[in-house]
Amino acid sequence: MKFLIVDDHPVLREGIAALLRRAGPEVAMLEAGTVPEALRLAEANDDLDVVILDMVLPGMDGLSAIGEFGRVRPEVPVIVLSSSEKAEDARRALASGALGYVPKSASHNTLLAAISLVMDGEVYVPPLILAEVTGTALPQKVPPSPADVTASALTARQVEVLRRLSSGQPNKIIAYELDLSEKTVKAHVTAIFKVLGAINRTQAAAAARAAGLI
């Protein structure tokens, strides 16, 4: 796995890197203190798996940066690691395209769990934020109407992946059954989410059924 950690505090970057290296010797780490530097690294590393992004950065705020990463590397999920525990900040980050929001006050295990969940195609929001937004819907992209979604918007392989994720299969099983790498499956899942306007598997399955794709 290869992670890109984007934070203007070197000590914090080093701490996150040390934590992630516990996952094993095969983990590689890239670090950047600014968004332009991070975008250059993202473009130069085709094997990048996850971006861990601070919300407050010099020159460009984290929300704008999320959009830039989506433009440069749309298949790579972004997890926001923020000092803010405000529900509104979590909503804004998710609405901007982040697939995870983790307060910096969270435990190491929480960050690792968030990364694992996001790499499996889901969205992570910490319990504290969920409690704060009780009764308020979390930010969700508005799915296109069924009439706007056609099978031609997806490749044949993406339709196969869509059928399997809609039946609840994890990426690892989908990769095994279709003889693909997990990284390729993740890229297909990301593309499917974008076409269907979904932020998680439940939304993607619902949109696909409404459009008659599965």
Q: In the prediction, which pLDDT does 40 show? A: 95
Per-residue pLDDT tens over the stretch 27-38: 899 999 999 999
C-alpha span between 104 and 114 (Å, rounded): 12
d(CA 116, CA 148): 32
Q: How many CA atoms lie within 13 A of 137 on its CB side?
A: 5
189 residue type, one letter: V
196 pLDDT more than 70: yes
pLDDT tier, 86 (very low <50, low <70, confident <90, very high otherwise): confident
Which residues are within 8 A (CB) of 32 and not within 5 positions of it... i.e. 6 or more apart? 4, 5, 6, 38, 41
Structural domains of the chain ordered from first start:
2-132 (3.40.50.2300), 146-210 (1.10.10.10)
pLDDT in tens, 90-127: 888 888 888 899 998 888 888 888 888 888 777 887 66
CA 83, 86, 89, 94 torsion-angle sign: positive
- What does the CA dihedral 103, 105, 73, 97 come to, rounded to 10 degrees? 0
pLDDT single digits (tens) 122-152: 788 766 565 554 444 444 444 444 444 555 5
Measure CA 126 to chain center. 14
Q: State residue 58's pLDDT score.
A: 86
Cα–Cα distance measured from residue 175 to residue 161, given in angstroms and rounded to the nearest whole number = 9
Spell 104-127 as b/e; 16+ CB within 10 A means b: eebeeebbebbbeebbbbbbbbbe
Q: How far apart are CA 96 and CA 15, in angstroms?
A: 26
Q: What is the pLDDT of residue 141?
A: 44
pLDDT in tens, 53-67: 998 888 888 888 998
Give the pLDDT band of residue 46 (cuts 50, 70, 90). Answer: confident
> What pLDDT is recorded for position 158?
86
